[in-house]
Structure 1
């Protein structure tokens, strides 16, 4: 499942078995998982200290439905692209909190692969197809967040 370029990825997920399974899947795809956070405070600390290329963020964390605020801060303050992973997409605000897409839970390897391909698309305008497991929100790229709102 190699996607070519290797990303440094932060996983923000409070269910450890899901986080470890995702970590394994991402590592098998050739990416470096730089950390796993289960709360918003831990996620923000790791995000600042580790400077990941991408964050997979669950909406409901150990300290409540704080993943949306994590996504906002990652996007606005740290310039880290975010992919939500959630079973309840209705909790994603209309402005998408700066995230570039959502992977529905329970996620599939295919959904994660499509999301990674979308994030790694090198051509402006390259977009992943909308699928049952991954929904892109719009064009992404560091420094160009205007198309995400």
Structure 2
């Protein structure tokens, strides 16, 4: 397989990670674009010691920690990169937690990606777990047409300390429940029982009120095409409980920070 084919194979999941890390489609994709530009200029930047995927995530992390695109997604990716160096753009504990829980890397691979050792990775993941456990509980709407998956999600959400306000199996049910009870978080499948779309239901709700959303689908690559507005928080089926916990906490983290910034500005 050629270098370009290897990159293309792993790109959708790298974009998912970038979005979970930044909480924003444009910002996450800007960092991935910066990484690709750097790789085009110098292919030796890709260290495949732990495989192509880990190498791509390692290079992405190096770009993330050196180019200040997060404050301005419109900045040209490689423009004066050396002048845009900042430290700790995002806390290392969240990076470690997402790499382990969302992307399923081993501790050794995460250590390689973050240029750390395994002991440090374990400490970072433990720190992230404690911080995320301190998140304020909220009301959760589950949009899922498969009964057993919905039950698993409901149990998981409750174990995380949240309250489930309802489970919707169709677009119409989701909109009615959300309008009535105003959830603080939505976990949504994309393809629903009656052929309707969870994505469409969420987009309709977001025109009415602001709420963080995590999409859960068996085909995440179909929604990372770059051709339209895409979900920022996306989980693959089958999912691990730690993955749902990590991404839901990320979504709540960015929502909380956004509200805090708004309050300070006013």
TM-score bracket, normalised by the shorter chain, equals: 0.7 to 0.9
Deviations 1:73-94 (A, max 9, x none): 1222232221100011144263
User: Where is the strand percentage greater, Structure 1 or Structure 2?
Assistant: 1
Segment of structure 1 superposing worse, 6-15 or 71-80: 71-80
C-alpha RMSD of matched pairs (Å): 2.4
2:180 matches 1:49: yes
Counterpart position of 2:133: 3
For the pair shown, which has the larger CA radius of gyration, 1 or 2? 2
Corresponding pairs, count: 126
Segments of 5+ residues of structure 1 without an aligned counterpart are: 125-140, 145-149
Q: Residues of 2 paired with 1:75 and 1:63: CA distance? A: 21
Question: For 1:18-57, what aligned pairs fall within 5 Å after superposition?
Answer: 18-57=149-188
> Runs of 4+ in structure 1 displaced over 6 angstroms?
none
2:243 matches 1:111: yes
Deviations 1:78-130 (A, max 9, x none): 3222110001114426302xx43111111111111111220232675xxxxxx
Q: Residues of 2 paired with 1:91 and 1:35: CA distance? A: 27
Question: For 1:48-127, what aligned pairs fall within 5 Å after superposition?
Answer: 48-92=179-223, 94-96=228-230, 99-121=231-253, 124=257
TM-score normalised by structure 1 residue count: 0.75
User: Where is the helix percentage greater, Structure 1 or Structure 2?
Assistant: 2
Segments of 5+ residues of structure 2 without an aligned counterpart are: 1-128, 262-266
